[in-house]
Amino acid sequence: MPRSSLPLPAHHPWCAIIPPYVLEALSQSGDPEVERRARATLQHDEAMRADRRTDPSVRIGEPTLTAVEQHAAAPRSTEAPSRAIHDCATSRTLPGTLVRAEGEKPTKDAAANEAYDGLGDTWTLFKEAFDRNSLDDRGLAMVASVHYGTGYDNAFWNGSQMVFGDGDGEIFLGFTRSIDVIGHELAHGVTQYTAGLNYEGQSGALNESISDVFGSLVKQHAADQSAAAADWLIGADLLAPGVKGRALRDMHHPGTAYDDPRLGKDPQPAHMDDFVETTADNGGVHINSGIPNRAFVLAALELGGNAWESVGQVWYDVLTGDIKADCDFATFAALTIAAAKAVDAETHTAVSNAWQGVGVDPAKARTPRARKRPTRTGAPNKNAKVVVRRTGGLAGQVLQREVLLRELPTDDCEQWQALVATRALERASLEQTRTHPDAFTYEVDVPSRGVQVAIPEVGLSDDQRTLMDRTLLPPRE
C-alpha cells in the first residue's frame, strides 16, 4: 500500500494529565527530590509542547507516519479492541518493548496490566454505550507505553498513543492506577477524531472537560455505578499517601480536590463568576474545565440512573455532531441543551438547569453556522466542490473561490485529493490554533467530505499554501 493512502490520524496538541501549574508548585515545594523531578517533568513537557507546535505539517502526498501510527492505521476487520502495551523501562523512547498484545495473558508487571485493562474498559464503554468502535470509530488500535522516564509525573496522549509515567513516589504514584486517567487520555483521542476542539482557552477547557467526563464514565461503566454512587473524582488513586487531597480534580465540587503544602490548592472554578483568565496552561484548559465538569455532574445527578445512558448520550451526540473546533462554553451549552431537547423534556430541563447552575448562558452562544457534516475518509472524487477562502491580512481583503476539482489543473486536482484523504488540513488546523497578527487565515470547505477547516497561514506547509493561492487566483491564460 502506498504510504500516502494510509489513513493518517489527525494530530492533536500534546495533552498531559498533570497541568503545568501543579508541576510549578511542586518545583518549589521545598523537598529537593520532589523539586528535581517536577522540574525534569516540566522541562520535558515544555519540550514536547514546543515539538508539537513546530512539527512540520504533512507534505502533500508524503505523510510521515511513525511505526505506531502505521500500526494504528492498519485496518481492522472485527469489532474488538486491539491493544498493544509497551514497556519503556524508564527510557523516553516510544513505544518501547511490546510486553502484552491483544488477547495475551497478564504479565508480572502491574502497570502493564492496568494499562491493558484500562484501555479495554475504555473501548468497552465507547462500544456498549455509544456504539463507537475505538477512538476513531474504525477500530483504531490502542497503543500504550508504561514506565516512561524515571519518576515521570505525568500521563499523556501524544496524538497516536498513550504514555504513562511511574510518578515520583512521594506526591504521585504510577499513572496507570486510575482508570479514569486512562479513559481521560483516550478520550482526547476521541475528541481529536470528532469535534477536534482547539486546545486553548474555552474550547481547550471543553476538550479537557470532555476527557474528564468520558474518563469518569469509563470508571462508572466498568463498576456498573449510577451517577449518584459515582465519586466524580479524576486521579483519586494517583496521590501518594500523605498528600492532602482526594484526587487531581473533583468534577462535582471543582476547587476542592486538594490543598497540600507541596501541591498547592486546587485552582478549579465551579462557576462562570470565578472563570480564570490566564495565559498559562494554554489559557487555563485544566482550570476552567471545572465549570463544564460541574454542569455535566449536576445534569447527571438530576436525571439519576447511569450517567452514560442519560447525559452522557447528550454530550456524545454533541461531540460527534454539529460542533466547531473553536466552540466556547455558551455555544457548548446551547448545543447540549438542543441535543437534550431532542431526547425528552426531563433531559432538556436537567441540562438547562445544569448550565444555569454554573452560570453559563446559552443565549450567548455564537450564531450557529451551517450544519457540519461528519468528515468522511478517502479522497473526494473529481466532481467534488472545494470552497477556498482567504481572510485576514493587513488589508482585511477577502478572497474566495468555489470550484469543482475537475476544473483545476490535473496536478492541483490530485494534490487536493491527497490533502483531503490524508486529513492534513484537519491536522494543521488542530496543531496551529494561534493566529498571528495580520497573518492570513485560509478556510477550506469540501462539503462532500464534511471537511470545514480554518488554518492560520503559519500552520500550512509551503506546498499547501501555494496550492490554496493557485486555487484562489488561477494564473491567467
Determine whether 69 is an active site residue. Answer: no
Neighbouring residues of 460: CB distance < 8 A, sequence distance ≥ 6: 57, 428, 442, 468
Instruction: List own/partner pairs for 390-399 with CB under 8 A and 24 or more apart.
Output: 390/440, 390/441, 390/442, 390/443, 390/468, 390/469, 390/472, 391/440, 391/441, 391/443, 392/435, 392/438, 392/439, 392/440, 392/441, 393/438, 393/439, 393/440, 394/438, 399/472, 399/473
d(CA 271, CA 249): 15
Output 42 or 420, the one with its CB closest to Zn ion: 42
Cβ 396 to Zn ion, closest distance in Å? 36
CA gap 386, 41 in Å, rounded: 44
Looking at the Cβ atoms of 15 and 119, the one nearer to Zn ion is 15
204: its cell numbers: 481547550
How near is the Cβ of 200 to Zn ion at its closest, in Å? 13
The region of 15-23, 57-65, 353-361, 449-457 touching Zn ion under the rule CB under 5 A is 15-23
In the complex with Zn ion, the residue whose CB is nearer, 152 or 440, is 152
Angstrom distance (rounded) from CA 113 to CA 173? 16
AA identity, residue 87? D
Assess contact for 272 and 357: CB atoms under 8 A: no
Q: Choose the catalytic residue: 147, 286, 348, 457.
A: 286
Cβ atoms of 71 and 141 closer than 8 Å: yes
Q: Which residue in 318, 314, 142, 128 sits closest to 221, CA to CA?
A: 128
Candidate ranges 55-63, 208-216, 341-349, 358-366; the one touching Zn ion (CB under 5 A): 208-216
Q: Which stretch binds Zn ion (CB under 5 A): 8-16, 322-330, 437-445, 467-475?
A: 8-16
Minimum distance, C-beta of residue 378 to Zn ion, in the bound complex (Å): 30
Of the candidate spans 11-19, 21-29, 271-279, 317-325, the one that interacts with Zn ion by CB under 5 A turns out to be 11-19
- DSSP string of 168-216, one letter each residue: -SSSB--TTS-HHHHHHHHHHHHHHHTT---SSHHHHHHHHHHHHHHHH
Give the C-alpha distances (Å, rounded to integers) separating 29 from 4, 259, 262: 49, 13, 5
One of 69, 170, 185, 208 is an active-site residue; which one? 185
Instruction: Report yes or no: 5 and 40 within 8 Å, Cβ to Cβ.
Output: no
Determine, following the binding rule CB under 5 A, whether residue 15 of this chain makes contact with Zn ion.
yes
286 counts as catalytic: yes
C-alpha–C-alpha distance, residues 34 and 172, integer Å: 10
- Which part of the chain contacts Zn ion (CB under 5 A), choosing from 1-9, 207-215, 355-363, 425-433? 207-215
Which CB sits closer to Zn ion, 134 or 211? Answer: 211
Report the first-to-last Cα separation within the chain, whole angstroms: 38
Number of residues that bind Zn ion (CB under 5 A): 2
Minimum distance from residue 307 beta carbon to Zn ion (Å)? 19
Beta carbons of 125 and 183 less than 8 angstroms apart: yes
If the CB atoms of residues 140 and 181 are measured against Zn ion, the closer one turns out to be 181
Q: Which is nearer to Zn ion, 116 or 214 (CB)?
A: 214
What is the smallest separation between the CB atom of 30 and Zn ion, expressed in angstroms?
28
**Which of residues 57 and 192 has its CB atom nearest to Zn ion in the complex?**
192
Output the DSSP codes for 389-431.
EEEESTT---EEEEEEGGGS-HHHHHHHHHHHHTTHHHHHHHH
Q: How far is the CB of 14 from Zn ion (least distance, A)?
A: 10
Residue 178 is a binding residue for Zn ion (CB under 5 A):
no
DSSP three-state, residue 151? coil
CB of 199 to Zn ion, least distance (A): 9
Burial 161-188 (b: 16+ CB within 10 A, else e): bbbbbbbbebbbbbbbbbbbbbbbbbbb
CB of 287 to Zn ion, least distance (A): 12
Of the two residues 15 and 335, which places its CB atom closer to Zn ion in the complex? 15
Q: Name the segment binding Zn ion (CB under 5 A); options: 13-21, 332-340, 439-447, 468-476.
A: 13-21
Work out which of 27, 211, 375, 464 binds Zn ion, going by CB under 5 A.
211
Give catalytic residue positions.
185, 286
Task: Give residues in contact with Zn ion (CB under 5 A).
Answer: 15, 211
